[in-house]
Amino acid sequence: MFKNLPRHIVLDILQYLSIQDILRMRRVSRQLWMIIQAHYQMGLFQCGSQIDLSKYKVKGVMLQIVAKDSGVSKHKPMQNYLMKLCSGRIELSYYDSAYQRVGSDEIVYVVQRGKEKEIVRNLEIVGFSPSSISSQMDCHQLYVQLSKISIESILILLIQKMSINSSHISVQVGPFYEGEGAWSLSLKALINKQAATQQLEQLQKQTGGNLDTEWGFVLALKTIDGKAQELQKFLNEKFNPILEEENITMKTHSEGTALWLSFQLKPEEMEEIKEGFNMVFAQGLEEFAEKNENSIQMLLSSNTDFTFASELLKKGDRLMSVVMKSLKFVLKLDLAQDLAQTIKSVLENLEPDAANEPPMSLFLKFKNFKVDLEFKSSDDCPEFIRQNGFFGKKIQKWIQDGDAAIQDEQGIAILKQIQENLPNMEIDFYFTIPNFLAVSGNAKLPGVAQFLLEYGNIIDKL
């Protein structure tokens, strides 16, 4: 029906609608959306209020970014742009062409083309509703999981979020790890049955059949200081019994400096994850099917991580390419935020007071697809440790008062052991669901365990 109306009338109608309603029009008709884009001369993006985390509930951002011309050079300004915007370093007034708060936890920013000349001129930023994804992981659910927290469940929690993120995510934690405590992942997401099977076969072969690779996730910890066997022994003796109480099987395999761990998840948990993936795929596919072949080709060719997807494209299997592309898109852009929020929520839940005290106030900054988590001022952190102790005030007092039970001492020991090793570790990980998905990645996570150890009261949850 819009097609039957003169363009200016269409725009007249749109003037009566909110930005959110206008954004929604992109799914009503492509032609209508083109009129909107052309008229407003703007890149739009909608974000789940990452601008000021203290004021809003963060659910994560879903961005769909399409570079109008090819070339990786466009990613850099985009990264800078998001980083600045999300860390609040750009005053809103600079982008004051229009912005509108929608609801209690959602903001739509309208950025006029030309205002940020180097960025939006070459990029088209379109936002869409995050509801289908964010509903999977609300705070309530998170805290329910945390009520029975263990190192393993923290890892699962992170891996669950992380594994469905592609490309590079870096997390910087702690006062001493700034600049070095990077956790970068490079995932190859394979939703191809054959590729997943090959991955598993290779993994089985590599670990001499000592691991459960049927389903679950496997970590390969590469120590660079030769503590693999020591850590393996420790984990088998101390950590495994705790996991067994939760009906989770951990198997280990060491080889030189590498230590492999496999965690076999309960089938029902795996089903939940599957459902989550299905939602992501469905959403991504629907979104991405709107795009034409050329844009897929362009984006695939600009992403070296997705060589597999490129191969599929070469074979002319467009649908699979679309799926792959959707995967990349949704996972790369949206859930990276989710991961950051998860980490933040975990940390805040562990030590709520610490997160709110001025020298320790956490903030997240999103560097495009990279997520950095750091303290506001690293200079203040040693002072905090001096005042509050290595484990944080609460735990320090708890230990000093002699309230630590045997189980808790074990927990501290486990954390210490991991702490001693993890800072120097590099991890390869594989996340597999047979015939459905295999995600592999590499992570360098110096400092994460130490960070959790120092500032988290997770020990009393063990």
Partner 1 sequence: MKFNTQDGQAFEIADETLKYFTKVCKTNVETLNLTSINSRIMKKVVQYCEIHQEDDIIPEIQKPLLSNNLYEIVGFKDAEYITNLEFEELLHIIKAAELLGINTLVDLSCAQFAIKIRGKSPEQIKSYLSSKMHKTDEEFQRQRDGENMAKIQQMQSSD
Contact residues for partner 1 (CB under 8 A)? 1-6, 9, 12-18, 21, 24-31, 285, 289-290, 317-320, 322
Comparing CB distances to partner 1, the nearer of 243 and 438 is 438
Comparing CB distances to partner 1, the nearer of 62 and 187 is 62
Give min distance, CB of 245 to partner 1, in A.
Answer: 42
Comparing CB distances to partner 1, the nearer of 34 and 92 is 34
Give min distance, CB of 314 to partner 1, in A.
Answer: 16
* Largest distance between two CA atoms of the chain: 79
Give min distance, CB of 28 to partner 1, in A.
Answer: 5
Comparing CB distances to partner 1, the nearer of 25 and 412 is 25
Contact assessment for residue 333 and residue 62, using Cβ atoms and an 8 Å cutoff: yes
Give min distance, CB of 56 to partner 1, in A.
Answer: 21
Distance CA 41, CA 111 (A): 9
Residue 126's DSSP bridge partners are 64
One-character DSSP codes across 89-139: -S-GGGGTTEEEEETTTEEEEEEETTTTHHHHTTEEEEE---HHHHTTS-H
Residues 6+ apart with CB under 8 A from 195: 308, 438
| Radius of gyration of the CA atoms of the chain, in A | 23
Give min distance, CB of 167 to partner 1, in A.
Answer: 25
Distance CA 263, CA 253 (A): 12
Q: Which of 342, 334, 310 is nearest to 324 (CA)?
A: 310
Residue 428's DSSP bridge partners are 220, 442
Residue 426 parent element (H or E): strand 425-433
Comparing CB distances to partner 1, the nearer of 26 and 365 is 26
Comparing CB distances to partner 1, the nearer of 26 and 188 is 26
Residue 433 parent element (H or E): strand 425-433
DSSP 8-class letter at 161: H
Q: Tell the residue number behind the tokens 């052309």, with chain if given.
A: 38
Kindly state the tokens that stand for 233.
Answer: 């022994």
Comparing CB distances to partner 1, the nearer of 24 and 115 is 24
Cα–Cα separations (whole angstroms), residue 244 to 107, 152, 241, 263: 44, 11, 5, 11
CB environment 291-325: b (16+ within 10 A), e (fewer): beeebbbbbbeebebbebbbebbeeeeeebbbbbb
Comparing CB distances to partner 1, the nearer of 27 and 461 is 27
Give min distance, CB of 306 to partner 1, in A.
Answer: 19
Give min distance, CB of 94 to partner 1, in A.
Answer: 23
Give min distance, CB of 313 to partner 1, in A.
Answer: 13
For CA atoms 366, 368, 372, 377, give the dihedral sign.
negative
Comparing CB distances to partner 1, the nearer of 146 and 298 is 298
**Alpha helix positions (H), 364-405:** 381-388, 393-400
Give min distance, CB of 146 to partner 1, in A.
Answer: 34
Residues 6+ apart with CB under 8 A from 436: 191, 196, 274, 277
Give min distance, CB of 40 to partner 1, in A.
Answer: 14
Comparing CB distances to partner 1, the nearer of 129 and 240 is 129
Contact assessment for residue 36 and residue 124, using Cβ atoms and an 8 Å cutoff: no
Comparing CB distances to partner 1, the nearer of 9 and 72 is 9
Give min distance, CB of 295 to partner 1, in A.
Answer: 12
